[in-house]
Structure formats: C-alpha cells, structure tokens
Structure 1
C-alpha cells in the first residue's frame, strides 16, 4: 500500500506543457493503474467497485491523452483538476485499504463513501472533457496507444477502447477523427471488440451524438461504427435506447459523404424488428425515405431495403401508398441502373404480397407493362433484373384473368419461350415456372402455348438432372395435352412420343416422374394419330412391362391401345 501511495505527486503546480508537468501526470496515471489492479482483490461491495474501476479506467485514458498534448497557454484549470484528482485518488486508496482489510466501521457508511468517490470521479472525467472543449490543449505527435495483439485479454481490449473513447470525447477534431477510424478498424476485424465496446458506458451515446457533426468525416465515421454495431441483433436495443433513430433520419436529410449510406444500412438493420418501424414513422422517416426515391438518389437500393421492412406494418404501407409510392417505384423499375431496378421490383412485390387492392393498383399504374419491358430479350436488362421481373410478374398476376390477357398483349409468352430456349440456368428455370403458371390460367392459354411451340421445349427438360425441373416440365406437359389440339400437335413429332416411352424403362433408376409421364401418354391415346405412334413405337414394351408390374396407369394405356382396330397390332397382349 505504501509503495502505491509513494507514486503520487505531492502537488501539481508545474505547467503541463513542461517535462516536469508531464512527469507528474505520468505518476498520477501510474497510481490510477495501481488502484485498478488493487480493486480486483476487493471481495466486498463488488458492484460499486466495478463501477469505480470503470471510471478509473476512463480517467486513466483521459489523462494519458493529456500526456500527448502540447501547451498553448497557461493551464490553471488543468492544474486545479490534477490537484482535485490527486485528492480523490488518495481517498479512493484509503477506502480500498479498509475494504481489503475489512476494517471499515459499517456497511452503510462505506457504501456512502464509495458513492461519493464514484461521483467525484465522474466530475473529474467531465472536467477534463471541458478543458479539451475549451481548446486549452492541442494534440502532439502521439495519437493513440498501440492496438492490442491478436489474442489479447479482455482487459487489454477494454483499456484500448476506453483510450479511443477518451480521445474521441475530449480530443481535437483531428484526434477525434483518428480515434473513430481506429475504432472502426478494430470492430470490423474482430467481433470481440464490438462486444467489449458496447459494455463501455457512453460509447454508443457519444457515437450517436457525432451523427449531428458535419466536420472532418466525424459524422461518416460515427455512422459507419453504428452500422457495424447494428449488425448484432442483441445490441440493437442499446442503439434504440441511445435515441439513434432521429439523428439517423437527420443524416439522411442533410448528411455528407458516405454518412447517408451508413445511416441507411443502420436503419435497414434496425427495422428488421417491426417494433422499431413506428419510431421511424414517428420521426418523419418514411417521408424522408420516399423523397430520396423520388429524387432518384444513389441510395435508392439501400432505401428500398428499409421501406421493405416498413411495409410489414399495414398503416405505414397505406401511408406510403397515399404518398404516391406505387408510381414512384414503377418508374424506378424502368431505370437503367441494375441495382435500383432490382430493388424497386422487389419492393413492389413485397408491397403487393397478400394485398389484392395494392396488386390491382400496381397493375393499373402500368406495373405489368414496366416489368414486361424488363423481361423483353431486346432490352438491355441484366439476367438478374429479368429474373426479378419474372418473379414479379408471376406474383402480381397469378390471381387475375385480365392481367394475363395484358401480359399476352405485351409479348410475355414469346419472352418466356425465348428464355426456355436461350436463357442461362436460373433464368431458364424461372421461365419454366412461368410456363407452368401460365398453363394453369386457362384452356385458351394452353392452346396458345401449344401453337407457339412450347411442347418440344418442355420435352427437352424431361431428362434434366434436376428432379424439380423434370417434374415441373412433366406437370406442364400433362396439363397442356389435356387440350385436344395440343394432343394432335404433340403426336406429329415422332421424337416427342418416343422419348416419353423411352423414359419409362422400368430398369432405369432415374427416369423422371413416372406417374406424370404416364398421365401425358394417357391423354395422347385420345388422339388417333398420337395413339398410333405410341402403338408403333419400339419402346412400347416399356409400357407393357409396367402393366405387368401392376402399374394401374400403364394397364389403362394398354387396354386403350388394345381396343378396336389396334388389337391386331399388338402381339401377346396382356389381359386382366
């Protein structure tokens, strides 16, 4: 204990800018470090000593920053603060000795004394901050303490972040910026730093307060740090408690540099919780976000992500619609920027999901026409934009006969047939899904698809490696050949019939969806020309083997082929 006390300076008279003054600060810092170490050995009043220890660490960071400053004028306020700090540290040391030795007179009195010391430490931290804010100190060449090595202890990490926070709070503008940059570097490279940082008092509040500063990239760096913290779901409540929503919206309105982008990312993460949606709305955020989209700002894609989270609240969605959101996003869906185009179409789909009135409004405002233009092979749209457009068309139109007619007028059928033939993997599969959906809308659609040449393309997918693709192609064909005109058209192609029969080989482990293939053949037996091709095919034996194996659909086909004038064609016919 005596060795600890001996580190304290007897007075703090020397100017801080002098070597002797800095030496005195260093001795005070050494004493604080010793007190912090001593506090870990105290077994009584653990909560109060934890609080005192945290304040000692913050004070240590603040005084360490002073060591790296040059004098610009006389320092009466700082000298006075150092004297007061010295007195408090002596008092704290005395209390720690009594707690270690259990020599205090009463618990209530000791608790009161600890509270007084804690309050004094708060005041010292505040006074140092005020001295910096008055411009009494200027930064020297040393900026921050060294970053902890990989695998550093939690205490080392905590001390480093406290040092950064101290400089961010009380340093010059340049020191603040360097501190924020250093903070962003560590929280992005190691999650441990985020978890420790969030536990440090006032860190989040300080970062939030910087959102209103438009100088030397401070706003940008603060918004960047907050967007990283918002990426942790468990920490989002801390951001909300710190009042982050209103400053973020102000950044969107008048922020500088990349601040707006980081603020938007932060809002997108925060609004994943619908409870926070109302806070965005209450602060006028919905109007600000829509304005960005109306002006066609580069932030549109990110803003769409926020609005997409907000439309889950019915009242907020209605407000968006009243503010003209639908025509705004239909217009954005026509723009040439791929990211904006995709985000806008995705947002329109989300807005219309499960809402027939909104779906009708989108169609009325020209949404289907806009999406069809994106899908047009002659357009300059990317594959990703076309995929999103195709999804949007199916999701928006699947309940409306009128919308199907409009789609056909816009060349939708030709578009999906083109992508069935020439599209890449994912777009081709989406075109197949669209064909399946279109086929299910009406018999007239089936006829038009048959005339357009869909069936030969669908047959090609029956031997796809993907089970889902094989099944969807078979289901679409099965639905199309119910129509007599399509049965005749399908039977005109010998390869179509032969491939179906070939794929029914019972010895093949993977020959597609047998039930659906048999269903297609069953429908084809209703057409004379198709029935004749089936009967004359060299692969008819596959049907016979399945019939012998008691496959009911195969038995039905054999019976139908065996009837009337086709009976003589078949030899050794099977009967049951």
Structure 2
C-alpha cells in the first residue's frame, strides 16, 4: 500500500474513534448528533473506496480530497476533546466551529460521490459492513443501513445492486431495519428512484424492497409520500423483467387495500396496464396475471373506476381468462382469481351481472364443471359460486345453463365425484331446487332424486344430510316428481329407515325434513299404504305422542284415509 492508501485507513480509524468519542460528549448534543450522522456517511464512502482496484495515487482528485478530509477529521477530533473537557472559550464560537465541521464533512461526502459518478474509480469487489446480528443495538443497525445508503448513492451499478440485495436480506431477517431506513433522510426516496433504473438487477431489487416495506401498514404512507405509484405503474408498462413487474404488482396490491390510493393508480394509467397484463395471459407469467387480478379487485370497489373498467372491456378480458387452457399450475389460479374479480365486480350490481351473462360468462363457468375437462375442485367451486350469483332466479339463464349441459355435469359429480366434488354438486342441486318449479321438474326428469337419497346416509356429515333432505323435500313438492319417487318401492322404505336412524343419532335437522318429505308423500295413496304397512308406523306414532307436529299430521292423514275407507266399505256393502 502507498502512503495515500494508508491515509484512508487512518481516516477510517479516526472516524471510528470520533463516533465513539462523540457519545461521551454532554454539551451541544444536537450539533454532535448531526456531526455523527455525517461521519457515518463519510465512513461508508471511504470504506467503499477501499474496494476499488484503481491505484489511488493515479487519481489526483481523490488524493487531494483524502488529504483535505483527513485535515477536517483531525480538526473535528480537536473540537471533540475540547467539548469533552469543557475547555472552549465561548459557546457561540464553538457552535459556529461545529457547524462548519458538519458542513465540510457533508461536502467531502458529496465530493466522493461525484468521483464515483464521473466514473473515475472502478469497483473491484463490494465489501459491506458485517450484517448486524439479531438483537443488535439500534446504533449498530443505523451504521449498517447508512453504509448501504452511501453505496446506493455513490457506488457503481454492481455495487448498488449488491447493496440492495443486502438491504433486502437484512429487512426480511429483522424488520427493525425498515424503521431505521425510514428515519434516515432520502433512503426511501432513493429506493423509489431506483424503480426507474435501466439496470434490470437494480430495478428488480428496488421493487422487491418496496414490496416488502408496503406490507407494513405504518410505512405505506411513507411510500405514497415518496411518490411510489407512478414508477410502479411505469414498471408495468415498460419494466425490464417479469420479476420486477411481479414485485411492482405485489406492492400495488398492498397499497390499494386503502381505496384512497386506488385513485392514484387509476390516474397514472395503472388500470389500463393491469388489464393489458391480464389480456396478454400467454405472454405474462401466471403469477403476474394472478397478482394483477388482485390489484384490479381492490380497485373495482371504487364505483367510478369500475365503470371505467367496464368501458375498457374488463369483463371480456376476465371471461377469456376463465376459458384459458394453456396448462400448468398458474392457469387454474388465474381462473380462480378471474372468477373472484367478476364476483366482486357484480356484487349488488344487476347491470354488471347482465353484462357478464351477455358476454358469455355463464357458458365459461359451466364449462369449468364439465367432467371431461380437467380442473381442480377449487376452480369448480368458484365457478359454481359465480353461477349461483349470476343466474339468480332467471328463467332465461336457467334455460341457457340447461343448453350448456349444467344438469348433466352436476349429476355426473353427484354419482361419480370424489367426496369434496360430490358435496359441491350437492350444493348446486340444493341451489337449483330453490330457483324455480321448472328447475325442479327438469331435475326430476334428469334423475336427481335417486342420487339425493344416497346423501341421507348418516355416515355423511349432518350438514350434507340436511342439505340433501331439504333438496329432496323441495323436489317432491312437485306432483310429477312425487309420483315418480313413490313408484320406486325402495324409496319410501329407505326414508322410514333414515327416520329411525335420525332418532338414534338425535339429528333433529334431518328428522324435520324427513318427516316433511313423508308428510308430502301422504298425498299419494300408494305412499300412504306403504307407510301404514311398514314396521316404522309405531315410530311415527311415538313421535306424534311426543308432540311432534309433522308426525301428528302424518298420523292424521293416515287415520282420515283409514276412516274414509271404512265408510266407503259400509256404504257399498
């Protein structure tokens, strides 16, 4: 090492000494805090210079700057010791001297930054200060973050990228570093500025940092105040890589949880850019599409923005996404997110629901239930939820669903589906029974009743049994279905058997519907005979005696019929 290089080491050692000494000074505390901050910035800059492979003695500008810095540091050391001993001649003069030192330290830090900016030094390898351990003091963390800040300000592109990587690692390990970064002037603004960097690595790491910071409610306002929305939208428009865009969209999703920020995203063209991502599904990563759906879902809650989305063709974009079949894990996720978005968009809005139906939304959703196609149960569940929302008691949409094979799909899963899919199909059947008489008739013709009976088995959950019982009761209220049900000799006997088991299992919910079904069936002569001649009549009589109103009605029906038969027999004898 040459003499000049030794001066850097001496300057660094002197700065460490001054920082330590300054903590012991009890006078002019505010002045010394400012000087300490400037010393820490200068320390980071000098440490960075040590990592440059250029010979310092070949750089006259740096040689002269280092000499001047060392002189200022020695003068500062003298002031520190005088303050410590209280051996200064006057307060005003000492305050003036401290202000001068603080200003000169700032100027020399800027001079070093200018030397980097002009490309007068090249970096060999970036060595940052050792990362503070978990539980480190605030002062240690602050020195580390300020060291990173200096590298972000004066370092080469590679050094800046490495500093951002280090920052991302440390804030994810200990989020107290975020609070320190927020408290340091210009740190967050610098991160936001890096979002517009032409260097892919720098932009990506900066986007990753702000995305993580945005996850903390306390710091969202700081990011907004630093003007983060516009550069995030610019990344979506012309960002250099998918990862940068993904981090940018993650950040927007967190920030738009507050509807006040939604306006800012819309004002900067964010809605249009997000819709472009969703419409270019094949050219964007599945994760990016899913995240974009999440941001748009936040934005659509603002009525004026929702109207703009409709005008921009958002509904057709998301229906197209529901139809996608490019394969891979991301496709079902984008389908689920798209359905979720459309549900939010149509919530409480009949006009939007009608547009979704008109644009082909129902057909796309019914297609998700097609057993010949491979979709995860979650996508099918979301599709069914949307169908129940968009097709609420509309004859036209019900007929449309029939034409698309909706009943056939539901029947298939009731019969062949795995348990989770069977229950999903049962929910669909239950919903259909509550829509219209036409729906119940169509279900009877399609053979739903025998499938529903299977769900009355008490090995199923009580919720499943009750849902199946209520659906069956609703279907049997239609005379044509009731007649068809009774024609199968096993059906009435099975209901009576289930009624007996409901007593044993104390399942009052299912028992209520089973009795209601039996009550409805007593309007058929053949059903009355089967109940009266069964071995379960005594069970119904016991329930009637215990004041069960439905059981009493059944016994009354059976009794009145018996007396009518006796009377008819006497009349004709």
Q: Shorter-chain TM-score: which interval?
A: 0.7 to 0.9
TM-superposed CA distance for 1:93, in Å, is 4.7
Cα pair 1:416 1:434 within 8 Å, conserved: yes
The reply to whether residue 324 of structure 1 matches residue 313 of structure 2 is yes
The reply to whether residue 524 of structure 1 matches residue 518 of structure 2 is no
Q: Distance in 2 between matches of 1:281 and 1:476?
A: 46
TM-score, normalization: structure 2?
Answer: 0.87
**Aligned to 1:68, which of 47, 51, 72?**
51
**Aligned to 1:538, which of 532, 535, 540?**
535
TM-score, normalization: structure 1?
Answer: 0.87
**Size of the alignment, in residue pairs?**
552
Structure 2 counterpart SS, 1:350: helix
Question: What CA deviation, in whole Å up to 9, does each residue of 1:208-261 have, x standing for no partner?
Answer: 212222225221122122222222222222211111111111111111122122
Q: Distance in 1 between matches of 2:43 and 2:204?
A: 28
Question: What CA deviation, in whole Å up to 9, does each residue of 1:467-490 have, x standing for no partner?
Answer: 332332222222222212222223
Q: Distance in 2 between matches of 1:172 and 1:469?
A: 65
TM-superposed CA distance for 1:277, in Å, is 0.7
**Aligned to 1:140, which of 121, 124, 144?**
124
Any unmatched runs of 5+ in structure 2?
326-330, 567-573
Structure 2 counterpart SS, 1:204: helix
The reply to whether residue 250 of structure 1 matches residue 234 of structure 2 is yes
Q: Distance in 2 between matches of 1:331 and 1:507?
A: 52
Q: Return closer, same or farther for 1:528/1:23 CA change in 2, 3 Å cut-off.
A: farther
**Aligned to 2:432, which of 425, 438, 444?**
438
Structure 1 counterpart SS, 2:53: strand
The reply to whether residue 412 of structure 1 matches residue 402 of structure 2 is no
Q: Distance in 2 between matches of 1:121 and 1:422?
A: 78
Q: Return closer, same or farther for 1:325/1:170 CA change in 2, 3 Å cut-off.
A: same
Match of 1:552 in 2: 549
Cα pair 1:501 1:543 within 8 Å, conserved: no
CA-based RMSD of the aligned residues comes to 3.0
Larger proportion of helix: 2
The reply to whether residue 128 of structure 1 matches residue 112 of structure 2 is yes
TM-superposed CA distance for 1:325, in Å, is 1.5
Q: Distance in 1 between matches of 2:186 and 2:27?
A: 26
TM-superposed CA distance for 1:359, in Å, is 0.9
Q: Return closer, same or farther for 1:335/1:535 CA change in 2, 3 Å cut-off.
A: same
Question: What CA deviation, in whole Å up to 9, does each residue of 1:422-452 have, x standing for no partner?
Answer: 3334433332222222111111111111221
Structure 2 counterpart SS, 1:214: coil
Cα pair 1:484 1:527 within 8 Å, conserved: no
Q: Which stretch of the first structure deviates more once superposed, 139-148 or 322-331?
A: 139-148
Q: Which stretch of the first structure deviates more once superposed, 449-458 or 419-428?
A: 419-428
Match of 2:19 in 1: 36
Q: Return closer, same or farther for 1:256/1:565 CA change in 2, 3 Å cut-off.
A: same
Any unmatched runs of 5+ in structure 1?
1-17, 570-576
Match of 1:177 in 2: 161
Q: Distance in 2 between matches of 1:346 and 1:213?
A: 34
Q: Distance in 2 between matches of 1:381 and 1:90?
A: 73
TM-superposed CA distance for 1:529, in Å, is 2.4
Q: Return closer, same or farther for 1:544/1:284 CA change in 2, 3 Å cut-off.
A: same
Match of 2:463 in 1: 468
Q: Distance in 1 between matches of 2:18 and 2:494?
A: 86
Match of 1:573 in 2: none
